[in-house]
Amino acid sequence: MPRIILFLCVIITFFSCEDDEEKDLIFEGDLMLSTQLEIDEFMNSGFEEVTGSLRINPAPGSPSEITSLEGLSSLKKVEGSLVILDNNSLQSLEGLDHLESVGGNLTISYNEALTDTRSLSNITSVGNEILIQINANLSDLNTFENLTNVQSITINSNSRLHSINGFNKLSSLPGSLIIGNNSTLSIIEGFDKLSSIEGDLHVNSNTLLPNLNAFQGLSSIGGSLILNNNDALSSTAGLSNVSTIGKKLEISRNPALTKLEGLNQVPTLSEFLIILSNPVLKDLDGLNGLTSVGNLFIFHNEELTGINLVNLATITYQLDVKGNSVLTDFCGIQPVIENDFTGIYNVNDNAYNPTQEDILEGKCNQ
């Protein structure tokens, strides 16, 4: 009997020690690391998990001294948010190579010297948003190739960002994808399997971006599609599989865009179709699948000659066409007017400005 009791005590002690060891690998609560010494001391702890949020940024009023994250090499999971902010001497995220999941937001912002994010390649899940913004020397975002779950992605105002290549396993976004104000961005690759975005897709103010070919697998946008201020954008053909846009389509101030391609499978827009200040856009042929829109606004497109939306039958609220200096053909909206249009009708400052009565009488062009 004493031998049995002794054996049981040994077993209990073993599992108790094992549990204690597992607990020793978990940091309970939020953690802020503000100095290089604190980063280095984290290595000695061997923590694999932080149950709260982890912030890596200088204390208010203190200089930025963190140059390496190698002290975080044991970290696999952050249950809250991971924030890497205002670290002006940090050039890479090496040390986060074993990180697999972040439960809240993953924010990488205002890290002036950061050039490399490849150490995040093992992350498979981010519970809320990935936000990468205002990292002045980040040239390539070649990471997140194993990511399968995230709510939203924002990549914004990284002034030297040349390419985005990753996100290859991501098939859907419950939130939005926003890529904006990256003045040297010329290449977007990856996103190969992305088929649906439940929120919005914004591609705005990316001066050197020529096309949207990264989104050839995309079929559904539950919110709005916004393409604004992309100086080099000459083609939208990469959107050729999109068949649903839930709310608004806005295409504005894209000075190299001569035609709209790839959007002719979209039948309805519940809110707005806005075509604004695209100076070399000649026609709207790429939207000829539209049958119904909530509001139609066409403003200041200097080379647009006709509104050739041949299948459009219904505009629910407002038709507003202004300041298109060579626009003379309104026959594409004749079915809308003949279909007892009762909304607001504003047509002025174009080369030809027919009234509703003119269109009903067949005087839809000049």
Q: 138-191: per-residue pLDDT in tens?
A: 999 999 999 999 999 999 999 999 999 999 999 999 999 999 999 999 999 989
- Rounded distance, CA 203 to CA 238, Å? 13
Write down the pLDDT at residue 157.
98
Q: What pLDDT band is residue 24 in, cutting at 50, 70 and 90?
A: confident
Q: Which amino acid is at 217?
A: G
**Mean pLDDT value across residues 120-132:** 98
**Mean pLDDT value across residues 53-82:** 96
Q: 266-282: per-residue pLDDT in tens?
A: 999 999 999 999 999 99
Q: Residue written as tokens 């030809």?
A: 352
pLDDT at 17 over 60: no
**Mean pLDDT value across residues 311-321:** 97
Write down the pLDDT at residue 61.
87
Write down the pLDDT at residue 3.
40
Q: 325-344: per-residue pLDDT in tens?
A: 999 999 999 999 999 999 99
Q: How many beta carbons lie within 10 A of that of residue 290, not counting itself?
A: 24
Write down the pLDDT at residue 124.
98
**Mean pLDDT value across residues 285-301:** 97
Q: Which amino acid is at 198?
A: E
- Rounded distance, CA 216 to CA 273, Å? 22
- Rounded distance, CA 120 to CA 307, Å? 47
pLDDT at 8 over 50: no
Write down the pLDDT at residue 169.
96
Q: What pLDDT band is residue 109 in, cutting at 50, 70 and 90?
A: very high
Q: What does the DSSP assignment read for 12-60?
A: HHHHHHHHHHHHHTEE-S-EEE-SHHHHHHHHHHT--EESS-EEESPPT
In the chain, the percentage of residues whose pLDDT exceeds 90 is 91
pLDDT at 21 over 70: no
pLDDT mean across residues, the chain: 93
pLDDT at 6 over 50: no
Q: What pLDDT band is residue 243 in, cutting at 50, 70 and 90?
A: very high
**Residues pairing with 163 in the sheet:** 140, 187
CA distances to 182, 211, 253 from 207, rounded to whole Å, are 7, 11, 11
**Residues pairing with 83 in the sheet:** 55, 107
Q: 41-60: per-residue pLDDT in tens?
A: 999 999 999 999 999 999 99
pLDDT at 22 over 80: no
Write down the pLDDT at residue 187.
97
